[in-house]
Structure 1
Amino acid sequence: MMVAGIGSRKGVSLEDVLAAIETALEAHGLAMSALSALATAALKKDEEAVAAAGRTLNLPVIIVDDAALRAVSSGTLSNSSLSQESAGTPSVSEASALAVAGKGATLLGPRTVLGPVTCAIAISGDAP
């Protein structure tokens, strides 16, 4: 399973979200078709562009609660004071991806920042 975790400022566009996902995947030599799901923090549950990205890509958007984000925060690679303050994790995108990819998941690298959106890619522990 491969998950794209999304973090963003409020009111981002669908184009911003899709561009960040594409940029993050390209950084690891991956295609959009490699993704199993999108993930984001509960505080972003009403962010329409993230939901629209899931519909556009035909992928589920999984909302991760604060406790699950905190549980995987030690595995994040980036550190945003804004993310820590608002979501209780050093990186919303990285922690969201890790939480949804499951036990033993790993990040392919630090989050990609593209304008107002961050995207991190995680793979499940049972992936080859």
Structure 2
Amino acid sequence: MIVAGIGCRRGATVEAVLEAIAAAIAQNNVTAPQLVGLAVPEEKLCEAGIIAAADRLALPVIGVSPADLARVGDGFLTFSERVQSLKGVPSVAEAAALAAAGAGARLIAARTTTPTVTCALATGSGA
């Protein structure tokens, strides 16, 4: 299973979310039908851009608690000092993808960034 972890600024548009996902899957030889969900920190569950992107892709939005983000541990491929200081993880997108991908999760590649959205892809055996 492959999960797309999403990090975004407040108010990110559906187009921006879809652009980040499209870039991540294109750069990593993944296809949209391989995705099983969009993983986001719980506080982003109400973001209209994320909800609309999930609807367009016919995917569920998987909320990841702060505790589950923190439990991911190692396995990050990128590091943002700003995100580390605000969220306690080196990358929100990577942490969300890893947490939602479940046991044995690993990142397929480092997060893809756009001006307002980041997207990381992780594979695992499910939660």
TM over 0.5: yes
Q: Note if contact 2:111-2:121 (Cα within 8 Å) is conserved in structure 1.
A: yes
Which residue is 1:96 aligned to? 96
Question: CA separation in 1, counterparts of 2:105 and 2:12?
Answer: 28
The offset of 1:100, in angstroms, is 0.5
Runs of 4+ in 1 over 6 A off after TM superposition: none
Question: CA separation in 2, counterparts of 1:67 and 1:75?
Answer: 16
Q: Note if contact 1:79-1:91 (Cα within 8 Å) is conserved in structure 2.
A: yes
Question: Deviations 1:95-115 (Å, cap 9, x if unpaired)?
Answer: 000000001011011100012
Question: CA separation in 2, counterparts of 1:10 and 1:87?
Answer: 15
Identity %: 44
Give the TM-score normalised by the residue count of structure 1. 0.93
Which residue is 1:55 aligned to? 55
Superposed CA RMSD in Å reads 1.3
Give the letter aligned to residue 50 of structure 1: I
Which residue is 1:42 aligned to? 42
Which residue is 1:67 aligned to? 67
Which structure is higher in strand share? 2
The offset of 1:125, in angstroms, is 4.5
Which residue is 1:28 aligned to? 28
Give the letter aligned to residue 108 of structure 2: L
Question: CA separation in 2, counterparts of 1:73 and 1:11?
Answer: 29
* Total equivalences in the alignment: 126
Cα 1:73–1:10 shift into 2, 3 Å = farther
Give the TM-score normalised by the residue count of structure 2. 0.93
Question: Deviations 1:14-39 (Å, cap 9, x if unpaired)?
Answer: 00000100000000111111101100
| Unmatched segments (≥5 aa) in structure 1 | none
